[in-house]
């Protein structure tokens, strides 16, 4: 599961990150497989001028695949950390391409909202305190966002 909820006597801590379906070993395997599959038809034109016409497109295809997978890994570096204690709630969002964002509130006055429709994704989860509302876990799956909503609601209700 791409989030982890840990509890101690003093605080509750939630860490959430995007799901990664392809590990680093898989990345190497996919690139090697793509190179092999692209090189296979090029064997037929080996030693001809046609090879030099097809080679840049083959290299471009492998480079595009490489770039796409690397971009996906870079997006996967996103991390949201929520800390709930008796007197404070802190949500820190570390995004690889944006400055760090922080939301601080009193947990007693903070509520969790689940927007089934109308948000950027179905079952959109937000934290609201006073006039400020922030999203949490928008990158999670629908089922995980619903479960996150239930767990966060329970945790905020338990704050004295």
How do residues 33-50 score in pLDDT, each as one tens digit?
999 999 999 999 998 999
Instruction: Give pLDDT, residue 10.
Output: 87
Q: Is pLDDT of 75 > 80?
A: no
- Output 18 or 110, whichever has higher pLDDT: 110
Q: Is pLDDT of 30 > 90?
A: yes
Task: Tell me the pLDDT tens digit for each residue of 84-141.
Answer: 998 999 999 998 888 999 999 999 999 999 998 888 889 999 999 988 999 999 888 8
Phi then psi for residue 115, to 5 deg, are -100, 100
Instruction: Give pLDDT, residue 131.
Output: 85
How far apart CA 43 and CA 32 sit, in angstroms, is 16
User: What pTM does this model have?
Assistant: 0.74
Burial 53-80 (b: 16+ CB within 10 A, else e): eeeeebeeeeeebeeeeeeeeeebebeb
How far apart CA 126 and CA 77 sit, in angstroms, is 21
- Output 57 or 10, whichever has higher pLDDT: 57
Q: 110-115 and 101-105 as β-strands: parallel, antiparallel, unpaired?
A: unpaired
Instruction: Give pLDDT, residue 97.
Output: 82
For the chain, what is the mean pLDDT? 91
Percentage of the chain modeled with pLDDT above 70:
99
Instruction: Give pLDDT, residue 1.
Output: 60
């Amino acid at each position: 599961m791409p989030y982890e909820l840990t509890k101690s006597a003093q605080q509750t801590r939630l860490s959430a990150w995007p799901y990664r379906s392809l590990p680093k070993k898989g990345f190497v395997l996919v690139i090697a497989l793509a190179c092999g599959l692209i090189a296979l038809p090029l064997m037929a034109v080996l030693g001809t001028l046609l090879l030099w016409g097809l080679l840049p497109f083959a290299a471009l295809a492998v480079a595009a695949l490489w770039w796409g997978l690397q971009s996906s890994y870079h997006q996967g570096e996103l991390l949201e950390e929520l800390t709930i204690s008796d007197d404070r709630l802190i949500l820190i969002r570390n995004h690889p391409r944006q400055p760090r964002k922080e939301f601080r509130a009193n947990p007693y006055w903070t509520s969790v909202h689940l927007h089934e429709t109308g948000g950027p994704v179905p079952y959109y989860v937000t934290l609201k305190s006073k006039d400020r509302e922030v999203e949490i876990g928008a990158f999670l799956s629908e089922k995980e966002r619903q479960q996150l909503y239930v767990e966060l609601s329970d945790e905020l209700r338990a704050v004295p």
